[in-house]
């Protein structure tokens, strides 16, 4: 009787080490077909977004520069209290010195917002008053490649697409205008309570002025830099509530959803993620451009039981 032919077998192969039989090959093909039927619907609509990878790389450079700044400044973090509607360009040098910050300028000012190549505004992100400038040499790193929003003030792209957790950073401008804040002290409480602004230095929620101060919820679980929605971005500070309970969730500044309803977020330990938002309200502003916290508009936007607000609250700050 003829032996069953085995594909790939060799004349002198050892017993048990031959190729597949025809029946075995057919069985494998059937399994592959079944897997394709199961998986293809789940994969439909997904595709690689090279802009998300570039944005992630941009934030990786920023968070590394942020960490290096602290290492070179006795653990102190860069300032994060720039006045949100105050233009930087045109101010005298002494005033600009008081505006030193991790980034200077506001996207709510035509003097600061113009992101066209070689615009005067682009120099703001590489001048000495931008405290990350010794570590981040290219101003384009601050702009998300998926951010194609045209600022109505400049008829051009925004210079910057990212902002920093309002609970993170030190005081510079605040010190010169409210001397009870020592230079280099941690930022105030701001919007951590959610529905109201507070300039208090201390409150029920932690703020972080040193790299070593991330005790709760910990450096791996406290976000630092985020892609902000072009409709709400102004200064370099992103207002986010640390309070989230059933029926009590608020959007103050809107995150970006430009990467397929996802945005890029970096954390104090240096890791960076692309996070998928679950609720359309999170990244769809019901406001006019650049008026997320401007006078004459609601200072906060109730989005009851928004799951993304619960997530952001858990990584924005911790209780004292």
Q: Could you tell me if 164 and 238 are in contact, meaning their C-beta atoms sit under 8 angstroms apart?
A: yes
Beta strands (DSSP E) in the chain are: 150-151, 156-157, 162-165, 223-227, 237-238, 250-251, 262-267, 272-276, 301-302
Among residues 308, 305, 310, 320, the alpha carbon closest in space to that of 217 is found at 320
> What is the reported pLDDT for 196?
73
> What is the reported pLDDT for 191?
87
Same domain as 111, residue 225: yes
> What is the reported pLDDT for 21?
75
Q: Could you tell me if 194 and 250 are in contact, meaning their C-beta atoms sit under 8 angstroms apart?
A: yes
> What is the reported pLDDT for 198?
74
> What is the reported pLDDT for 228?
96
- Per the structure, the count of domains in the chain is 2
Same domain as 202, residue 81: yes
> What is the reported pLDDT for 98?
94
Name the one residue in this structure whose structure tokens are 């590394």. Answer: 64
Among residues 304, 303, 305, the alpha carbon closest in space to that of 283 is found at 303
Same domain as 192, residue 56: yes
- Ordered alpha helix ranges (H), the chain: 22-43, 50-72, 93-98, 110-113, 173-177, 307-316
Same domain as 250, residue 228: yes
Same domain as 299, residue 200: yes
Same domain as 227, residue 139: yes
Q: Range of 36's domain?
A: 1-41
Distance of CA 225 to the CA centre of its chain: 4
Same domain as 21, residue 55: no
Same domain as 150, residue 17: no
| pTM, two decimal places | 0.83
Same domain as 304, residue 228: yes
Instruction: Please tell me the distance from the alpha carbon of residue 283 to that of residue 182, in angstroms, as a whole number.
Output: 36
Same domain as 5, residue 150: no
Same domain as 6, residue 104: no
> What is the reported pLDDT for 38?
43
**Phi, psi (5° rounding) for residue 290?**
60, 25
Contacts of 70 by beta carbon, 8 Å cutoff, 6+ apart: 76, 77, 78, 210, 211
pLDDT tens digits in sequence order for the chain, 320 residues long = 444 444 344 444 444 445 557 666 666 666 666 555 544 443 333 355 789 999 999 999 999 999 999 999 999 999 999 998 899 998 999 999 999 999 999 999 999 999 998 899 999 999 999 999 999 999 999 999 999 999 988 999 999 999 999 999 999 999 998 877 899 999 998 889 887 777 776 789 999 999 999 999 999 999 999 999 998 899 999 999 999 999 889 898 999 999 999 999 999 999 999 999 999 999 998 766 655 444 445 567 888 999 999 999 999 999 99
CB neighbour burial string for 211-238, b if at least 16 within 10 angstroms, e if fewer: bebbeebebeebbbbbbbbbbbbbbbbb
Instruction: Please tell me the distance from the alpha carbon of residue 89 to that of residue 99, in angstroms, as a whole number.
Output: 11
Helix (H, G, I), strand (E, B) or coil at 129: coil
Same domain as 130, residue 5: no
> What is the reported pLDDT for 285?
84
> What is the reported pLDDT for 305?
94
């Amino acid at each position: 009787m003829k032996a069953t032919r085995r594909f790939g077998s060799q004349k002198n192969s050892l017993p048990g080490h031959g190729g597949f039989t025809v029946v075995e090959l057919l069985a494998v093909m059937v399994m592959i077909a079944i897997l394709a039927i199961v998986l293809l619907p789940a994969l439909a609509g997904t595709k690689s977004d090279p802009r998300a990878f570039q944005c992630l790389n941009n934030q990786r450079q920023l968070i590394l520069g942020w960490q290096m700044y602290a290492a070179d400044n006795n653990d102190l973090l860069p300032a994060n209290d720039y006045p949100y509607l105050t233009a930087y360009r045109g101010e005298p040098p002494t005033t600009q010195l008081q505006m030193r910050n991790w980034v200077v300028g506001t996207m709510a000012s035509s003097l600061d917002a113009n992101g066209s190549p070689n615009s005067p505004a682009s120099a703001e992100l590489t001048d000495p008053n931008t405290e990350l400038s010794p570590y981040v040499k290219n101003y384009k790193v601050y702009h998300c490649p998926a951010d194609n929003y045209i600022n109505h003030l400049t008829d051009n792209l925004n210079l910057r697409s990212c902002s920093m957790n309002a609970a993170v950073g030190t005081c510079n401008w605040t010190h010169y205008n409210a001397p009870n804040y020592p230079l280099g002290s941690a930022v105030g409480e701001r919007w951590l309570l959610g529905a109201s602004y507070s300039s208090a230095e201390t409150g029920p929620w932690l703020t972080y002025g040193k790299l070593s101060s991330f005790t709760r919820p910990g450096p791996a679980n406290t976000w630092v830099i985020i892609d902000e929605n072009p409709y709400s971005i102004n200064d370099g500070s992103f207002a986010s509530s640390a309070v989230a309970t059933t029926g009590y969730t608020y959007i103050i500044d809107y995150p970006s959803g430009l990467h397929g309803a996802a945005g890029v977020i970096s954390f104090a330990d240096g890791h960076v993620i692309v996070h998928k938002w679950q609720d359309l309200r999170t990244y769809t502003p019901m406001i006019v451009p650049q008026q997320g916290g401007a006078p004459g508009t609601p200072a906060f936007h109730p989005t009851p039981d928004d799951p993304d607000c619960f997530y952001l609250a858990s990584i924005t700050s911790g209780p004292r």
